[in-house]
Structure 1
Amino acid sequence: MKVLESNLKNHVIKSVSHDIGDLHFFNHFAIIEFSEGQHVTLEASIKLLDNIQNYFGDARSFGIISNRVNSYSMQPMDVVKAKERFTNLAGYGVVANSSPGRLSAHIEDTFCTTQNIKFNNLYEAVETINSRVKAAENID
């Protein structure tokens, strides 16, 4: 389910669209929905990463959720490099509803050193990532 087709749409603070995908900002996290058929690399994602950096800054903890509503490929090592760019990243998650999406999320998970990143639905991911960010910021 896409963000704008969910109950979360009323909580979106800002949305940005690029050829590579859509980015939706909330108070404590951003949700990325990459476009169908994209090959996601660090270089191809630079505008999205810049948008995230500009929105959250360098000090405020935040989370990123990749909502795999479309089929796309990625460079797993680029996920690690992208995460290294954000020293204030407190939570990262991948929502996958299809078998290929779950396999990709599993591969991404093996390259990540944080807690489990795989989620079965968008609401589970939002709840978990939001909790991780609030814990990092000591917000109740």
Structure 2
Amino acid sequence: MKFEDSKYSTQIEYRKEEFSFGTIYITEHFLLSEFNEGIHVDYNIASELISRFSNFISKGVKIGYIANRYNSYSFDPQLWVDFNKDYDAFIASAIVTYSNFSYLNASLEKKFFNKSLKRCKNIDEAIEWIMNLEEFKTRVNQN
């Protein structure tokens, strides 16, 4: 299920950014990616994303990341190592998988991500998990 088809698209305020390789949704608590069928997420795509969001991720903002993988595409897991070395924006990540193969790929990526990474069966599970992270509960209580 795409983010815009989920109940959360009407419950959570978001901004939509479109790229030739997919779409990113930006909310107060998370970024959600939906990449196009058949692409390979590599250093070039990561660089374009970092360039577009560098102002956002370099301000010390702490957010979650959700990869909604309803399309089949490949991802270079080394990108997690490089990103985590240069930026500290993501407090946790959720990968929504729709097939056994995608779940196995997410399991491999989990080994490269040095923070909490949850493999989820649907977008609702991923968003609920991210929104219920302790870091966000304390932020809400401080406001």
Interval containing the TM-score (normalised by the shorter chain): 0.7 to 0.9
Aligned-pair Cα RMSD in Å: 1.9
Any conservation in 2 of the 1:63–1:129 contact (CA below 8 Å)? yes
Residues 12/85 of structure 1: CA separation in 2 closer, same or farther (3 Å cut): farther
Amino acid at match of 1:7: K
**Alpha-carbon shift at residue 93 of structure 1 (Å):** 1.4
Q: How does 1:1-140 map to 2 (within 5 A)?
A: 1-10=1-10, 11-132=12-133, 133-134=135-136, 138-140=139-141
Structure 1: unaligned runs, 5 residues or longer: none
Following the alignment from structure 1 to structure 2, what is the Cα–Cα distance between the partners of residues 12 and 46?
26
Any conservation in 2 of the 1:30–1:52 contact (CA below 8 Å)? no
Following the alignment from structure 1 to structure 2, what is the Cα–Cα distance between the partners of residues 51 and 130?
24
Q: Which has more radius of gyration?
A: 2
**Alpha-carbon shift at residue 52 of structure 1 (Å):** 3.4
Any conservation in 1 of the 2:15–2:26 contact (CA below 8 Å)? yes
- Give me the identity figure in percent: 25
Following the alignment from structure 1 to structure 2, what is the Cα–Cα distance between the partners of residues 60 and 134?
12
Runs of 4+ with >6 A deviation: none
Residues 56/8 of structure 1: CA separation in 2 closer, same or farther (3 Å cut): farther
SS of corresponding position for 1:23: strand
Amino acid at match of 1:134: F
Number of residue pairs the alignment of both structures matches:
139
**Alpha-carbon shift at residue 46 of structure 1 (Å):** 1.9
Structure 2: unaligned runs, 5 residues or longer: none
Any conservation in 2 of the 1:58–1:87 contact (CA below 8 Å)? no
Which segment drifts farther, 46-55 or 58-67? 46-55
**Alpha-carbon shift at residue 85 of structure 1 (Å):** 3.1
Amino acid at match of 2:120: F
Following the alignment from structure 1 to structure 2, what is the Cα–Cα distance between the partners of residues 100 and 74?
13
**Alpha-carbon shift at residue 110 of structure 1 (Å):** 1.7
Any conservation in 2 of the 1:59–1:88 contact (CA below 8 Å)? yes
Any conservation in 2 of the 1:15–1:23 contact (CA below 8 Å)? yes
Following the alignment from structure 2 to structure 1, what is the Cα–Cα distance between the partners of residues 57 and 13?
15
The two structures have a TM-score, normalised by structure 1, of: 0.87
